Structure 1
Amino acid sequence: MKNNELLLKERDKRHLWHPLKQHKTHPNTIAIVKGKDCILTDEDGNEYIDAISSWYTSMFGHCNEYIVHKVFKQASTLDQIMFSDFTHEPAIKLAEELINILPDNQNRIFFNDNGSTAVEAALKMVLQYYSNKGIKRTTFIAFENGFHGDTFGAMGVSGLSVYNGAFKDYLIEVKRIPVPNGMNNVKVLRELNRIVSQNDIAGFIYEPLVQGAAGMKIHQAKDLELILNFLKKKNVLLIADEVMTGFGKTGKLFASDYMKTKPDIICLSKALTGGMVPLAVTSCSEEIYEAFLSDEVLKGFFHCHTYSGNPIACSAAIAVIELLQSERILNKIREITELHIGFKKRIERNKKVKKVSSLGVILTIELNSEFGYYGSLKDKISEYFMSRGVFLRPLGNTIYIQPPYVITKPQLNKVYNSIEDVINEL
């Protein structure tokens, strides 16, 4: 049979290798042919509400007309140019717009391709910062169960063995601490003091307020502030991995805005371009940047990606920042936040629910049932949601929502009802 006579999902099986998937036990995929606003449409005509914004990227809806227009306009003028020797208006304007909304101590923008490479650049910045100063600091601190990406440096500071277990013998030196929860703060600070006093600590990398891949686990700003303030006084550089939390998802522009102590470096991606094209940013303070200025050529930051500062991607990101600051989107973020709080009060009374947390447009429901990070029950729950026309992807025993800002109230209520139904049927 010719390829064009087969369904897309059958053609897919011939050559494609999907991420985060065991193909022997889970060979099937769903072929999506269209995305618009919150709705994904498959090749059979079935529609699904994308309640997690396709991995937290399409926060302004799929094929957002404003972003599409900006991308189309840029694509007809300048598509790609190497960024080591040239510059262009979209990159300059995007840097200016980002600096205007990032925490006040951020002043330099370095372009990458994705979240993992944004983290990779951040780790290398920290290590070379000290190396350029003639100081030996090679160890990082990170939270237990943190996740920062799949490249080797990012894997090294991540703490989820499901992703990096096979590579643990090849990773950088990391000391892990528990996430502060209000009850263990003194213990965590005591452990931090021990780690800093006994090791050459270069930096601390953290997901501010929400540990994404760990199951959307939310911690409190006042507890994280204690950690950041302590490490700042010990001259440990702070890296905020805002790849998932950035651009309004927590109710503020960035999760770091909830804390007084600001990071020295911030990693951004995902919603940066509204899911339109790949782009990532590693921003830093002027102090970090100045440590690389020297008459010695090799003290420069020799790290580069071919598509760094791609004009089309930068244009998409500029459109995102304009949308994010619009009254319409800000009102939608507030509306979703309030609806989440209402559903939280309703669902947390269910005896099968262990804990419900919400922060901005992020809602997490931790179930009493333990069914494994990639277990069969998780798969059945995912299939149930899809049968109801809702795309949700549980993490371990946690069901979470992170919908596009353009989701309607009836669509969100359908998501809520589907979650309540699946919990009652467990």
Structure 2
Amino acid sequence: MADCNDWFRTGLEHIWLPYAQMKTQPGPAPIVSTSGARLEMADGSTLIDGVGSWWTSVHGYNHPTLLKAAHEQLETMPHVMLGGLAHEQAYRLAARLAEIAPGDLYKTFFTESGSVAVEVAMKVAVQYAMNLAGERRTRFVSFKGGYHGDTFATMSVCDPEEGMHSLFSGVVPDQYVVDLPDTDDRTAVIEKLLSSHNDIAAVLVEPLIQGAGGMRMHSPETLKALREACDRHGVLLIFDEIFTGFGRTGAMFAADRAGVIPDIMCLGKALTGGITPLAATIASRKVYEAFHTDSVDHALMHGPTFTGHAIGCAVANAGLDLFETKPRLEQVNTIEAQLTERLMPLSKLPQVADVRVCGAVAAVEFADEFDVSAARSWFIERGTFIRPLGRVVYLTPAYVIEQKDLATLTGAISEFADTVR
């Protein structure tokens, strides 16, 4: 491997990093290898990863089952296009997702990223109304604090005032972005909204936890009220489970934990355990039947070059094998208990506004703003990689993290809380 001073310093002059003002933000930590829940830095020191590589590496880094699947598929057939051709891994994965998905979600469209999976869901929802009844329902209901991606359509359904996309107000399409009705009058609030507009194609929500918006959590009752209102008004319900899917909330899907079945569900991130890009949009039988007609105009005209990427699908199939053979959900429940025990006491501190835990997710929200970049550096100096979101310091570790490593992460957050006054 090339010397870090070579590739890092030279490359830093030319790479454009995500979510970063590169003129003012401290440089990133150079990583040379990974294993389990640990990151090895170029200087030989080790970081315990509390973020799970943006919530993807649920089985831990370098899991041999996933690596074996990738290597074998790479040697056999890295990829072939799905336009007119077929390969086993994509077809097997689609069938397996249909088996484990809630309700009658059974038809999967593969993409390369979560943002595009949501774009496909939105496109399907709009065309569904056209195919079914010739209606032009072109707008969406989404919720403040929500995040669904950085592509143009998905930016329109994110919180319009949060920092990542606020500059694009007036450029992206207008949607109905409202407060999440997680209150006793939720049914009346949702009913008023849907009954006031006849151009709504779907309601789009991150079920149980709004991830990038600060790990905000809401009740299953809110999702049940959304489901009932959508049914009354002929509006589709889309669950963005790119973050919550595959065990993060303690159930395989947040839909399972909430007991609510959407019309369309978007998956990504943990689908391949952080090994390769892959995402999926899964539609119910009712939705798909509106496209399955004799009219070519009713077809979904969408086709990313690497849709159903063979290596990604092979890794995803191996990941599902791990969920079937390893106690992943039990591990999440153990993590939830430890996070609750170690972090909930912080809610008594005057500088802490709230502490939230659900499955393998914990969030400590502080009452006042702090320097996020400085906080990231502070955590790295203490051997942890924790990446705050605004006033929220959160953990989304690998499900296989050792208890002592998780204790180090929660201890670092407790120590950090003492510095925020």
Band of TM-score, shorter chain: over 0.9
The superposition leaves residues 160-215 of structure 1 with CA deviations (integer Å, 9 ceiling, x where unpaired) of: 442222322232231122112335525633xx424433331110000001111110
Decide which of 368, 373, 377 is 1:379's aligned counterpart: 373
| Amino acid across the alignment from 1:147 | Y
- Structure 1 contact 120–153 (Cα < 8 Å) conserved: yes
Q: 1:357 to 1:111 in 2, by over 3 A?
A: same
Deviation at 1:269, TM superposition (A): 0.5
- For residues 218 and 71 of structure 1, the distance between their equivalents in structure 2, rounded to whole angstroms, comes to 35
Aligned to 1:174: 175
Aligned to 2:387: 393
- For residues 73 and 45 of structure 2, the distance between their equivalents in structure 1, rounded to whole angstroms, comes to 33
Deviation at 1:20, TM superposition (A): 0.5
Q: 1:197 to 1:254 in 2, by over 3 A?
A: same
Aligned to 1:53: 52
State, as a whole percentage, how many aligned pairs show the same letter: 34
- For residues 151 and 170 of structure 1, the distance between their equivalents in structure 2, rounded to whole angstroms, comes to 12
- Structure 1 contact 274–317 (Cα < 8 Å) conserved: yes
Deviation at 1:27, TM superposition (A): 5.5
The superposition leaves residues 227-273 of structure 1 with CA deviations (integer Å, 9 ceiling, x where unpaired) of: 22112221110110000100000000000113343110000000100
Secondary structure of the equivalent of 1:30? coil
Q: 1:5 to 1:127 in 2, by over 3 A?
A: closer
Aligned to 2:130: 131
Flag structure 1 segments of 5+ consecutive residues without an equivalent. 372-376
- For residues 313 and 409 of structure 1, the distance between their equivalents in structure 2, rounded to whole angstroms, comes to 30
- Structure 1 contact 177–188 (Cα < 8 Å) conserved: no
Q: How does 1:203-352 map to 2 (within 5 A)?
A: 203-352=202-351
State whether structure 2 residue 141 is matched by structure 1 residue 147: no
Deviation at 1:340, TM superposition (A): 1.4
Aligned to 2:15: 16
- For residues 128 and 227 of structure 1, the distance between their equivalents in structure 2, rounded to whole angstroms, comes to 21
Q: 1:312 to 1:203 in 2, by over 3 A?
A: same
Secondary structure of the equivalent of 2:294? coil
Q: 1:274 to 1:327 in 2, by over 3 A?
A: closer
- Structure 2 contact 202–238 (Cα < 8 Å) conserved: yes
When structure 1 is superposed on structure 2, of 343-352 and 206-215 the one drifting more is: 343-352
Secondary structure of the equivalent of 1:238? strand
- For residues 257 and 400 of structure 2, the distance between their equivalents in structure 1, rounded to whole angstroms, comes to 24
- Structure 2 contact 223–260 (Cα < 8 Å) conserved: no
| Amino acid across the alignment from 1:181 | D
List structure 1 runs of 4+ shifted beyond 6 angstroms.
none
Q: How does 1:151-166 map to 2 (within 5 A)?
A: 151-161=151-161, 162-166=163-167
Secondary structure of the equivalent of 2:377? helix
Q: 1:343 to 1:20 in 2, by over 3 A?
A: same
When structure 1 is superposed on structure 2, of 360-369 and 8-17 the one drifting more is: 8-17
**TM-score normalized by structure 1?**
0.94
| Amino acid across the alignment from 2:137 | R
Aligned to 1:417: 411
| Amino acid across the alignment from 1:43 | A
| Amino acid across the alignment from 1:417 | G
| Amino acid across the alignment from 1:127 | V
- For residues 335 and 194 of structure 1, the distance between their equivalents in structure 2, rounded to whole angstroms, comes to 40
RMSD over aligned Cα atoms: 1.7
Aligned to 1:374: none
Secondary structure of the equivalent of 2:155? helix
When structure 1 is superposed on structure 2, of 277-286 and 4-13 the one drifting more is: 4-13
- For residues 104 and 195 of structure 1, the distance between their equivalents in structure 2, rounded to whole angstroms, comes to 24
When structure 1 is superposed on structure 2, of 32-41 and 285-294 the one drifting more is: 285-294
Q: 1:194 to 1:92 in 2, by over 3 A?
A: closer
| Amino acid across the alignment from 2:399 | Y
- For residues 327 and 23 of structure 1, the distance between their equivalents in structure 2, rounded to whole angstroms, comes to 41
When structure 1 is superposed on structure 2, of 8-17 and 387-396 the one drifting more is: 8-17
Secondary structure of the equivalent of 2:342? helix
Aligned to 1:70: 69
- Structure 1 contact 208–256 (Cα < 8 Å) conserved: yes
- Structure 2 contact 4–42 (Cα < 8 Å) conserved: no
| Amino acid across the alignment from 2:181 | P
- Structure 1 contact 352–367 (Cα < 8 Å) conserved: yes
- Structure 1 contact 121–282 (Cα < 8 Å) conserved: yes
The superposition leaves residues 261-294 of structure 1 with CA deviations (integer Å, 9 ceiling, x where unpaired) of: 3110000000100000000000001121121123
Q: 1:230 to 1:186 in 2, by over 3 A?
A: closer
- For residues 187 and 262 of structure 2, the distance between their equivalents in structure 1, rounded to whole angstroms, comes to 22
- For residues 298 and 397 of structure 1, the distance between their equivalents in structure 2, rounded to whole angstroms, comes to 48
Q: 1:397 to 1:7 in 2, by over 3 A?
A: same
**TM-score normalized by structure 2?**
0.95
Flag structure 2 segments of 5+ consecutive residues without an equivalent. none
Deviation at 1:226, TM superposition (A): 1.4
- For residues 342 and 4 of structure 1, the distance between their equivalents in structure 2, rounded to whole angstroms, comes to 43
- For residues 340 and 351 of structure 1, the distance between their equivalents in structure 2, rounded to whole angstroms, comes to 20
| Amino acid across the alignment from 1:77 | T
- For residues 188 and 342 of structure 2, the distance between their equivalents in structure 1, rounded to whole angstroms, comes to 34
State whether structure 2 residue 115 is matched by structure 1 residue 121: no
- For residues 287 and 166 of structure 2, the distance between their equivalents in structure 1, rounded to whole angstroms, comes to 32
Aligned to 1:88: 87
Aligned to 1:185: 186
